[in-house]
Amino acid sequence: MSAGDIWQESNKDDSILKLEHHFSQTFQKGKPEYYVKVPGRVNLIGEHVDYCGYSVFPMAIKQCIIVAAKRLSGHNIVRITNTDTQSYEDVSQTISDIDAVTIGKSQSWTNYFFCGIKGAQEYMTEKQLKTVENVGFLFAVSGNIPESAGLSSSSALVTAALISTLAGYGVSVPRHQLAEISAKCERYIGTAGGGMDQAIAIHAKKGFASRINFNPLTIQQFRLPDDVTFIVAQSLAIKNKAASNDFNTRVVECRLASQIIAKSQNIDWKNLTVLSQLQKTLKYSLDEMIKLVHQHLHKSKFTKNEICEILSVTEDELNVISLTPNTTNVLEFYLHQRALHVFKEAKRMEKFCEECENSCSPIELGELMNLSHTSLRDLYDCSQSDLEELIELCKQGGAYGCKLTGAGWGGCVVIMVPSNIKEKFIQFLKDKFYSKRSVDKNKLTKVIFATKPSDGAFIFKSPGVEIDKLYELPPLKIL
Ligand code: NG1
């Protein structure tokens, strides 16, 4: 998709019609002016490495968040409603009162949405764009990305809120910048994510998986083997990563690993926050980095006191330099295992891309996915018993490869199977895994489904609505 076509033709399927109906019922203000659609994703390889600066390899899925939007002239308020009224409350808020500190205090669905609005406002302030006085919004949201399942529902929501707000203010932002703004503003919720989810949500291309490189953000599209199908299966173990400090503890462990190795190499460690930066500074290969892990990080746990001694800082200093607000109470860190996972996963990711470009053998690609999962389980310690049961069954059912996708500790697995066994495989998991759990028969297609690489975010206007003429706002355009 080129940078210019974030605006697309109207696309009125059933979900849009339902959303439009909900919008009109709730706000009693006629029809939405425009819609923003943002997909979820699965990550095929490169797990828990984006926040260390290493490349990832996700693809967008067709499950998405859709926002129906209308601008309100003369009001500085935003009203947000969700089609799932049972689970999500409506909210009305003065836009200028949305602030990062309050957002970080709870993980309500509207706070994710506020992250996006806040991100849009900050971008406009930073670029000294003329703020649009007294313009508010009506937003109706619908979505079918399973929540807290590692399919990036939160980033899709934040990104949809960001694009909806910027579009409403008539601000043009290139796609790569949208991804960066969205990654930054989602951190207000309290997790120190690396940017994979927002980048794929914005840059995905139908039919392709994307290699996403960071610093600077670049995207390369890759074809996957023709005769395979990717299946997503939920473990049914729910993990809300913003509600615990597990995710941030991993981010911090990787940071501490890079700082301790940096100190051992006489490098100014205080400014080193990610492992890829350390590698760049040292000009070492990934294999050389792996050697450093073995030389300088012991396998047993590091206590906080020990880390303070090695880095010659007080606990208070360490809290400020290296930890996040929700990890200052963590007393034990596994640095050897986490750094080893990151460097080996970065190597696997490179191999995966080479394989896609060359022989594209499903057996080789599947093996790399399996190795990735084993490392996530054994070195990164972010698997979970239901996930493990599912992984074992996938292997028995004839998968080429399978792994947890996203942060883990529950959520989904992504499985690559030969296309000709797709139906049989899904039935196998239904019989062996889901039949033992109470899953409503009508919901089975939501807990296990085949997926294809889908397009990234786009905006489309309601048919017949002349957006640019509605208010005296700048034209709605995103580059
Ligand atoms: P999930 O939990 O699927 O949203 C998280 C991070 C990613 C990445 C993966 C692990 C956020 C928004 N997402 O994904 O950036 O680090 O874990 O590979 O923090």
Q: Domain of 289: which CATH number?
A: 1.20.1440.340
Q: Is residue 370 part of a domain?
A: no
What's the pLDDT tens digit per position in 105-146?
888 999 999 999 999 999 988 887 766 667 899 999 999 999
3-state secondary structure of 343: helix
* Shared domain check, 143 and 197: yes
Q: Which two tokens stand for residue 299?
A: 């396998």
Domain housing 110? 3-223+454-461
Average pLDDT in the chain? 92
The yes-or-no verdict on residue 474 having pLDDT over 70 is: no
Identified catalytic residue from 5, 197, 386, 468: 197
Q: How far from chain centre, in Å, is Cα 38? A: 12
Sign of the Cα torsion 62, 65, 67, 68 reads: positive
d(CA 273, CA 252): 9
Q: How many Å apart are CA 154 and CA 189, to the nearest integer? A: 10
Lowest mean pLDDT among 168-182, 249-263, 302-316, 328-342: 168-182
Q: Which of 12-26, 152-166, 252-266 has the lowest mean pLDDT?
A: 12-26
- Examine residue 437 and state whether it is found in any structural domain, yes or no: no
In this prediction, residue 5 has a pLDDT band, given cuts at 50, 70 and 90, of low
Assess whether 197 carries a catalytic annotation: yes
At 99, which amino acid appears? D
Distance 339 CA to ligand 1 centre (A): 17
The region of weakest confidence among 59-68, 234-243, 315-324, 356-365 is 234-243
**Is 172 in the same domain as 251?**
no
Q: How confident is the model at residue 10 (pLDDT cuts 50, 70, 90)?
A: low
C-beta 33 within 6 A of ligand 1: no
Domain match, 177 and 49 both: yes
Beta bridge partners of 415: 231, 402
Give me the pLDDT at residue 479, please: 42
Tell me, in angstroms, the distance from the centre of ligand 1 to residue 113's CA.
17
Same domain, 82 and 150: yes
Q: Model confidence at 2, in pLDDT bands (50, 70, 90)?
A: very low
For residue 140, the domain's CATH number is: 3.30.230.10
The amino acid present at 300, given as its one-letter code, is S
| Separation CA 203–CA 176 (nearest Å) | 8
- Final residue before a domain boundary, out of 296, 319, 339: 339
Q: In the prediction, which pLDDT does 239 show? A: 77
Neighbours of 89 (CB within 10 A): 12
Is the distance from the beta carbon of residue 364 to the nearest atom of ligand 1 less than 6 Å? Answer: no
Total of domains in the chain: 2
The answer, yes or no, to whether residue 181 has pLDDT greater than 70, is yes
Q: Let me know whether 282 and 212 are in one domain.
A: no
pLDDT band at 470 (very low <50, low <70, confident <90, very high): very low
For ligand 1, whether the C-beta of 148 sits within 6 Å is: no
26 and 140 in a single domain? The answer is yes
pLDDT digits (tens, 9 = 90+) for 264-300: 999 999 999 999 999 999 999 999 999 999 999 999 9
Query: What one-character-per-residue DSSP string does 73-92 give?
Result: ET--EEEEEES-TTTS--EE
CA of 436 to the centre of ligand 1 (A): 29
177, 65: one domain: yes
Residue type, 230: F
234 lies in some domain: no
Q: Are residues 59 and 192 in the same domain?
A: yes
Rounded to the nearest 10 degrees, the angle between the axes of helix 196-203 and helix 153-169 is 60
CA–CA distance, 79 with 68 (Å, rounded to integer) = 12
